[in-house]
A = this chain, B = another copy of it.
Amino acid sequence: MSKSIFYHAGCPVCISAEHDIVNLIGNDNVEILNIGEVTDRIQEAETAGVQSVPALLTPNGNVLHLNFGASMADVKG
């Protein structure tokens, strides 16, 4: 894995954090994934250790949970 993955669910907190992350690490270095819409990747996110969104999965496999927006339970509805 060479890119980071930014998991979000479309909430205002997520969008704000997304802009900050893209500004900081560059659009080419991060995949933006709305798991509120692409629900078949929720399992992948949970396996990676994502407990809430927005969260950034780094290339070395660590998860940085950012400003709390929504829990994974909320995303799954």
Contacts and interface: CB of A to CB of B under 8 A. Distances in A.
A20 interface: yes
Contacts of A21: 64
A48 to B, nearest CB: 14
Tell me if A's interface is mostly helix, strand, loop or mixed.
Answer: mixed
User: How many copies of the polypeptide does the oligomer hold?
Assistant: 2
Interface in A23-58: 23-25, 29, 56, 58
A64 B59 CA distance: 19
A20 B65 contact: no
Contacts of A4: 24
A20 B62 contact: yes
Contacts of A24: 4, 24-25, 29, 56, 58
